[in-house]
Chain A
Amino acid sequence: MQLRYTAAELAFRKALRAWLAETLPTVPPAPDRDDWSGRRAYDCAWQQRLYGAGYAGVDWPAEHGGLGASPTEQLIFLEECARMRAPGVGAGFVGLLHAGPTLIAEGTERQRARHLPGILRGEEVWCQGFSEPDAGSDLASLRTSAVRDGDSYVINGRKVWTSFAQVADYCELLVRTDPQAPSHKGISWLILPMETPGVQVRPLRNAVGSDEFAELILDDVRVPAENLVGAENDGWRVAMVTFSFERGTAFIADVLESRRLLQETARIARSSPGPRGEPLWADPGLRRDVGRLTAEVCGLWSLILKNVSEASAGRVPVQGASVFKLRFTENRQRIGDLAAQVLGRAALSVSDLPGADNSHIVEDRLTTLAYTIAAGTSQIQKNILAERALGLPKEPRWTSR
């Protein structure tokens, strides 16, 4: 075991740091949360800057236009960007982290040539059409149907929780192509151009009060059969392929943000008077709570290093990813509760109040409600660990079909 980075990794960090220091001051302020076209433009502009500097698709293989970086270099890239508060991946998320890697692994030459350069250059935005109103945790029970008609598929159904759908060019869509097959067996993975007739995007207001999500209503949508990625009815495996690229790097910026929130909570507690006039920070109970959450954040960072090390050794840190997500999401929610406790009644407003630095803290507290739900609820993660890591019996399955 070794904590030190290699000379090459240090040089990578140094060059990146220098580029960020030079570039970030010229980045305009971020647009409003609900200004979708503004957010798309902003995120794509940043992606273009990364592309120009050779930092686009850090983890993509070099032969597909990426940097072909090792998991450790990817860790350094994400750590430095987060530390220096560079814009995040934003609207590029699905394209860069999901659809792109899937096309690299499973797409045809033509599909790759058509989409990969645009994703890397920040010209093409993707959204994800996996979940449905009746297929959440049980994703494989999805019912959106695709019926072959000549050289097209005709698609009918609904998708939900589709982030950035309002401004996306393409959607990675899971559809049922064989209604007779067992649930995992009859699914296909399709590229859906969002301007296809019959695609309707209906914004969905989330608990933060933002229209981050949308519902997709798909009504006799015709997609060319050549948009199939992988074989027909092999879509479940194709969708799972991206998970096998897990390198333990998914939450690097988030852990740094958790630490910042704790530091901020401590700062506010030092300058806020408690009920008897002394600073809130004088309460050892509060300090203990802050310290315990800090210990978890340190442990989570150590776990990231472990998971990245596993990935570097050529293993997929499946167990590590579930372990990490369970503790990270719970920890972040508890940080939000503690921060709100310190803010007191200033936490009753999601917008800034005079003299209180509350808005992003309250908003984060609301946003993180979704953390223990999205991408496999905590309960599903526990089932995964119990079954795959501890070898306990699988959940019984009842098929409704």
Chain B
Amino acid sequence: MDLTLSPDQLDLRAGLVEFLDAQWTPERLRAGASSPTPDHDSWRRLSELGLFGVTVPESAGGMGLGCAEAAILCEELGRYLVPGPLVPSLLAADRVPGVLTGDCLVALLDRRDPTAVAEHLPNATHLVVIEDSGLLLHPVEGLKSVVAQQPLDPLTPVAVLAGPLGSGERIGSAQDAARWREVGAVLTAALQTGVARGALELATQYATERVQFGRVIGSFQAIKHLLAEALVRVDLARAAVHVAALTLDDPGAGDSAETVAAAKVLADDAAAANGRTCVQVHGGMGFTWEVLAHLYLKRAWVQQSAFGSADEHALGLAERLPDAMLQAEAE
């Protein structure tokens, strides 16, 4: 049992961080937030890193790594607020041609969700519908949808399906659909952990610079405690996400139904609460479009609704609780 990152995992993470640090500057996020044009160039660059093929076998052109590595990378993508259908691409890279190379953009819709609002559908080439019975692929061309004029998160365009879907092409079984739901929940939780961390870092930075009453505001206990609570949320969410990802990679090592739900609940809470903390610590500036605080909070809210809300996952945990025991290795 070792939950520290291996040298390979640290290298993998460092490589992505170096790329994101150069590419996804606050200026770029601000620019993206004020112009809704899709940024195909940056998406292609992400694909050139091999990002979408993390869990795709090497024989199929991927990295052949596990959910654990995907989660480590997703945390950084969330931290830098990288926009785009990241989780759908990571899920679909091995079965929708063109996703691995960044040529195709996949939007997702889970039939369990009654509203039929899909993130990134306005820019997508394909829509994958997750049903209990399997995965269905639809080209976006010919789908009737209404694009939201002002999406909640300016970096996450959304559209609502406005007509019946055709039958679509079946690209996965019921088992695949169940797996997508689990992996999707964990990777979204990893993104949320990153959002929570990015919001904490931005707020902490501001608290060490902003002076009021002749002191930096980070010297006031009211602010210190807000930020300490935010740190607790990040660390708790990260630990839960890593354990969940590891149980998906190695089903014998734990009870994935439980660890996945716990990760989503804790990471959703961390992202939303830390987004609020980030706005609050910035005071009036936190309510401006200019400061990135609102983007963290809005991204958190978007991702809370993906792959099962915290409430749904909490109900699932409660149902299993009487029979569930903490994992101990079978003898």
Binding site for B on A (CB under 8 A): 1-5, 9-10, 13-14, 17, 72, 75, 79-80, 83, 256, 259, 262-263, 266-267, 270, 284, 287-292, 294-296, 298-303, 305-306, 308-310, 312-313, 319-320, 323, 326-327, 379, 381-383, 385-387, 389-393, 395
Task: Specify the chain B residue showing the minimal Cβ separation from A386.
Answer: B224
Task: Specify the chain B residue showing the minimal Cβ separation from A291.
Answer: B314
Q: What's the minimum C-beta distance from A377 to chain B, rounded to whole angstroms?
A: 12
Known contacts A14-B331, A323-B232; A392 and B224 CB within 8 A of each other: yes
Residues of B contacting A17 in the complex (Cβ-Cβ under 8 angstroms): 331
Contact residue among B2, B310, B326, B328 (Cβ-Cβ distance under 8 Å from A2): B2
Cβ-based interface call for B86 (8 A)? no
Q: What's the minimum C-beta distance from B26 to chain A, rounded to whole angstroms?
A: 20
Task: Specify the chain A residue showing the minimal Cβ separation from B216.
Answer: A393
Binding site for A on B (CB under 8 A): 1-6, 9, 68, 204, 207-208, 215-216, 218-219, 221, 223-225, 227-229, 231-232, 235-240, 242-243, 246-247, 250, 252-254, 258-259, 261-263, 265-266, 310-311, 313-319, 321-322, 325-326, 328-329, 331
Q: What's the minimum C-beta distance from A303 to chain B, rounded to whole angstroms?
A: 4
Q: What's the minimum C-beta distance from B197 to chain A, rounded to whole angstroms?
A: 12
Q: Evaluate contact between B314 and A288: CB separation under 8 angstroms.
A: yes
Residues of A contacting B3 in the complex (Cβ-Cβ under 8 angstroms): 1-3, 302, 305-306, 309
Question: Measured between alpha carbons, how far is A269 from B166 in the docked complex, in Å?
Answer: 46
Task: Specify the chain A residue showing the minimal Cβ separation from B3.
Answer: A309
Q: Evaluate contact between B235 and A303: CB separation under 8 angstroms.
A: yes
**Secondary structure of the A side of the interface?**
helix
Task: Specify the chain A residue showing the minimal Cβ separation from B224.
Answer: A386
Question: Measured between alpha carbons, how far is A9 from B328 in the docked complex, in Å?
Answer: 12
Q: Evaluate contact between B231 and A10: CB separation under 8 angstroms.
A: no
Q: Among A284, A296, A386, find the residue whose CB has the most chain B CB atoms closer than 10 A.
A: A386
Known contacts A1-B68, A288-B318, A313-B4; A385 and B242 CB within 8 A of each other: no
Q: Evaluate contact between A391 and B236: CB separation under 8 angstroms.
A: no
Residues of B contacting A386 in the complex (Cβ-Cβ under 8 angstroms): 218, 224-225, 227-228
Q: What's the minimum C-beta distance from B242 to chain A, rounded to whole angstroms?
A: 6
Question: Measured between alpha carbons, how far is A319 from B265 in the docked complex, in Å?
Answer: 22
Q: Evaluate contact between A393 and B218: CB separation under 8 angstroms.
A: yes
**Can you show 27 pairs from A to B with CB atoms below 8 A apart?**
A3-B246, A5-B329, A256-B326, A263-B321, A266-B321, A291-B314, A292-B265, A292-B317, A295-B266, A299-B262, A303-B239, A305-B1, A305-B239, A305-B243, A306-B239, A309-B1, A310-B4, A320-B235, A323-B236, A327-B232, A382-B224, A382-B229, A383-B225, A385-B228, A390-B227, A392-B227, A393-B216
Known contacts A266-B322, A295-B265; A300 and B6 CB within 8 A of each other: no
Residues of A contacting B232 in the complex (Cβ-Cβ under 8 angstroms): 323, 326-327, 385
Question: Measured between alpha carbons, how far is A382 from B239 in the docked complex, in Å?
Answer: 19
Residues of A contacting B6 in the complex (Cβ-Cβ under 8 angstroms): 1
Residues of B contacting A14 in the complex (Cβ-Cβ under 8 angstroms): 331
Question: Measured between alpha carbons, how far is A310 from B242 in the docked complex, in Å?
Answer: 14
Q: What's the minimum C-beta distance from A258 to chain B, rounded to whole angstroms?
A: 10
Q: What's the minimum C-beta distance from B190 to chain A, rounded to whole angstroms?
A: 13
Question: Measured between alpha carbons, how far is A79 from B1 in the docked complex, in Å?
Answer: 14
Residues of A contacting B228 in the complex (Cβ-Cβ under 8 angstroms): 326, 381-383, 385-386, 389-390
Q: Evaluate contact between B235 and A319: CB separation under 8 angstroms.
A: yes
Q: Evaluate contact between A259 and B326: CB separation under 8 angstroms.
A: yes
Known contacts A294-B317, A294-B321, A386-B225; A302 and B265 CB within 8 A of each other: no
Q: Evaluate contact between B262 and A298: CB separation under 8 angstroms.
A: yes
Task: Specify the chain B residue showing the minimal Cβ separation from A312.
Answer: B2
Q: Evaluate contact between B311 and A3: CB separation under 8 angstroms.
A: no
Q: What's the minimum C-beta distance from A129 to chain B, rounded to whole angstroms?
A: 30
Q: What's the minimum C-beta distance from B172 to chain A, rounded to whole angstroms?
A: 27
Residues of B contacting A383 in the complex (Cβ-Cβ under 8 angstroms): 221, 224-225, 228
Contact residue among B218, B236, B263, B310 (Cβ-Cβ distance under 8 Å from A327): B236
Known contacts A13-B329, A270-B322, A386-B224; A1 and B240 CB within 8 A of each other: no
Q: What's the minimum C-beta distance from A26 to chain B, rounded to whole angstroms?
A: 22
Q: Evaluate contact between A1 and B236: CB separation under 8 angstroms.
A: no
Q: Evaluate contact between A303 and B1: CB separation under 8 angstroms.
A: no
Residues of B contacting A308 in the complex (Cβ-Cβ under 8 angstroms): 1
Given contacts A1-B246, A292-B310, A392-B223, 20 further A-B contacts (CB under 8 A): A1-B68, A3-B247, A17-B331, A263-B321, A266-B318, A287-B319, A291-B317, A291-B321, A294-B317, A295-B261, A296-B262, A299-B239, A302-B259, A302-B262, A303-B236, A323-B231, A326-B229, A383-B228, A386-B224, A392-B218
Residues of B contacting A323 in the complex (Cβ-Cβ under 8 angstroms): 231-232, 235-236
Task: Specify the chain B residue showing the minimal Cβ separation from A286.
Answer: B318
Q: Evaluate contact between B328 and A79: CB separation under 8 angstroms.
A: yes
Question: Measured between alpha carbons, how far is A9 from B316 in the docked complex, in Å?
Answer: 32
Question: Measured between alpha carbons, how far is A14 from B263 in the docked complex, in Å?
Answer: 30
Question: Measured between alpha carbons, how far is A234 from B237 in the docked complex, in Å?
Answer: 39
Q: What's the minimum C-beta distance from B212 to chain A, rounded to whole angstroms?
A: 13
Q: Among A13, A79, A294, find the residue whose CB has the most chain B CB atoms closer than 10 A.
A: A294
Residues of A contacting B224 in the complex (Cβ-Cβ under 8 angstroms): 382-383, 386-387, 390, 392
Question: Measured between alpha carbons, how far is A382 from B226 in the docked complex, in Å?
Answer: 9
Q: Evaluate contact between A379 and B239: CB separation under 8 angstroms.
A: no
Q: Evaluate contact between A295 and B1: CB separation under 8 angstroms.
A: no
Q: Evaluate contact between A291 and B1: CB separation under 8 angstroms.
A: no
Residues of A contacting B2 in the complex (Cβ-Cβ under 8 angstroms): 1-2, 309, 312-313
Q: What's the minimum C-beta distance from B153 to chain A, rounded to whole angstroms?
A: 25
Contact residue among A287, A301, A309 (Cβ-Cβ distance under 8 Å from B315): A287
Residues of A contacting B208 in the complex (Cβ-Cβ under 8 angstroms): 391-392
Q: Evaluate contact between A295 and B314: CB separation under 8 angstroms.
A: yes
Question: Measured between alpha carbons, how far is A391 from B313 in the docked complex, in Å?
Answer: 35
Question: Measured between alpha carbons, how far is A270 from B318 in the docked complex, in Å?
Answer: 12
Q: What's the minimum C-beta distance from B85 to chain A, rounded to whole angstroms?
A: 26
Task: Specify the chain B residue showing the minimal Cβ separation from A6.
Answer: B1
Residues of B contacting A259 in the complex (Cβ-Cβ under 8 angstroms): 325-326
Contact residue among B1, B240, B262 (Cβ-Cβ distance under 8 Å from A3): B1
Residues of B contacting A310 in the complex (Cβ-Cβ under 8 angstroms): 4
Question: Measured between alpha carbons, how far is A312 from B321 in the docked complex, in Å?
Answer: 31
Residues of A contacting B242 in the complex (Cβ-Cβ under 8 angstroms): 1, 302, 306
Q: Evaluate contact between A291 and B265: CB separation under 8 angstroms.
A: yes
